[in-house]
Every structure is written in C-alpha cells, then in structure tokens.
Amino acid sequence: MATLTGAARVAVGGDLSPFFTDHDGHASALSAAAGRVADPVWRLPFHAPYEAMIEPGIADLDNAPSGGKAGAITAALFLRRFVENAPYMHFDVYGWNDSAAPARSKGGACMGARALFEALPDMLSS
C-alpha cells in the first residue's frame, strides 16, 4: 500500500482507494469486503500496452516515464515486475481526508486497510 503517484488521486478522487491486481477472485473478495466495512475501493487496470512506457532504452526500467500520462498504471506495472509467482495487489491511495466527516477526522487516513483486512480470510482461502 502506498501513497505513490498522485495520479490515482486525480483519477478517482480522495474517497476511493484504487488498487491493481491480476487475480479476479481477490478483486471480487476485496470489493465485497469494502462494501461490508464502508471502505470504498476501485480496481484500476494493468493496461499491457503501457508496459512500453517503463522501458527507457538506457536503464533496465523507468519508474517515472516522461509525458505525465497513466502514472498510476505505469507505477503499478513497474512494481509488478518485482513480484514473481504470487498473487499481487497494489494500492495507490491518497491517505488523507480533506475535511472531517462522521467517524473520519480531517488529516491522515488509513484508506483501503479495513477492506483489505476484511477480505483477507476469503483471499487466503482461494
């Protein structure tokens, strides 16, 4: 889980916890759990054509490709290169409440964690 790109915040705003995974079962379990614990999440795609954006031509990989487009997706694709033979889930969260709301104070926020903890039993059994 990371407050990584800012691009995800621009795409989905500050209320949703965007995540990436190749595992459809885990995505379904997480989405269902998010509804149960009122911790909203949103699945973003690993868009394969963007793999070329992290191939810089000089270094092995580019973790910050130029152009300023698809930052959340290219970051997730970059990090996925370091995971082998295991289900992978990447969260790119804002981690901040801009204003106070019931049960949520203004300031730092633990986004997506309640949904993830709720989903873990289902994810581990699949």
Encode the chain (126 residues) as per-residue pLDDT tens digits.
Answer: 776 667 888 889 888 999 999 999 999 999 999 999 999 999 999 999 998 888 877 777 777 777 778 888 988 898 898 888 878 899 988 888 888 988 778 998 888 899 999 999 999 987
Q: Which two tokens stand for residue 57?
A: 């031509």
Confirm whether 1 is domain-assigned.
no
Number of domains in the chain: 1
Q: Is 86 helix (H, G, I), strand (E, B) or coil?
A: coil
User: What letter would DSSP give residue 10?
Assistant: H
- 20: exposed, middle or buried (C-beta count within 10 Å: 0-12, 13-18, 19+)? buried
Q: Are 31 and 125 in contact (CB under 8 A)?
A: no
Q: CATH number of the domain at 47, please.
A: 3.40.630.10
Report the distance separating Cα 23 and Cα 46, nearest Å.
11
Query: Residue 90: which domain range?
Result: 7-125
Q: Are 12 and 32 in contact (CB under 8 A)?
A: no
Confirm whether 2 is domain-assigned.
no
